[in-house]
Amino acid sequence: MAYREPTAGLLARIAQLELQLKEVLGDRDRAGGGALAVLLGAPLRVQLERTLPLELEPEKHDLVVEALQRRFDAQGQFLAVGRSCHWSLLTSSSQRDVNVSLVVRGGTTTVRVSERFKHLLGMCFAWVYILGFPLAMAIPALLRSSRVTWPAVWALLALSGVAAIRVAYSRIARARERRLRATLQELAEISTSKG
């Protein structure tokens, strides 16, 4: 078999396939995992990324900011350097820690959306403690005449608390992850739109 020089059409097709592969792989969840994520049923951090085969025009920064403010119902902080931009949101009221960046380099735009869930985790623990403490005090009073052993009652309460945290945290974290995916898609559409 003889070696042939690749034609311009073949090189363009290879470049197109590489970009498509990067886009598919870039959408993967780059989550903070580990044993705690398994215990909680969801990661502590979600980072999504997509690389687009074009350069974001600075005129579209306003559209990006409007879309983010609408999605997260908050002002956030915006910073633009050249054609690249960054938007961040850290609120205690909604327990959000979101970072969005659109980095323009070498003819491509990398859109990165991430959120840390440490505030959400704290909120879940707080609610279980607030609701579980009165229950933990009431059950022993109700079971004074029972032959149930106290370690069994406390173990059951502890397991119930962990289960409640896992259910609440994983449902909220998964919903936020879906919202981040929709945000990534919207920003990609804004970046690729004409005019």
Q: Give the pLDDT of residue 43.
A: 81
Q: What predicted TM-score, i.e. pTM, was given to this entire model? A: 0.70
Task: Report pLDDT digits (tens) over 64-113.
Answer: 999 999 999 989 999 998 889 999 998 877 678 899 999 999 999 999 99
| β-bridge partners, 103 | 110
On whether the CB atoms of residues 52 and 109 are closer than 8 A, the answer is yes
What whole-number distance in Å separates Cα of residue 195 and Cα of residue 191?
10
The number of beta carbons lying within 10 Å of the beta carbon of residue 35 is 7
Please classify residue 170 by burial: count the beta carbons closer than 10 Å to its beta carbon, then call 0-12 exposed, 13-18 middle and 19+ buried: middle
Cα 150 from Cα 156, distance rounded (Å): 10
Cα 30 to the center of its chain, rounded Å: 9
- Site of tokens 């820690």: 97
Number of Cβ within 10 Å of residue 139's Cβ equals: 16
Helix (H, G, I), strand (E, B) or coil at 46: strand
Tens digit of each residue's pLDDT (9 = 90 or more) over 139-182? 766 666 566 666 777 777 778 888 888 888 889 889 999 999 99
Crossing angle of helices 118-142/150-192, nearest 10°? 160
**Tokens at 115, concatenated:** 């959120």
Euclidean distance between CA atoms 21 and 15, whole angstroms: 10
Confidence of residue 27 (pLDDT cuts 50, 70, 90): very low
Q: What is the pLDDT of residue 29?
A: 46
- Provide, rounded to the nearest whole percent, the portion of the chain with pLDDT above 70: 75
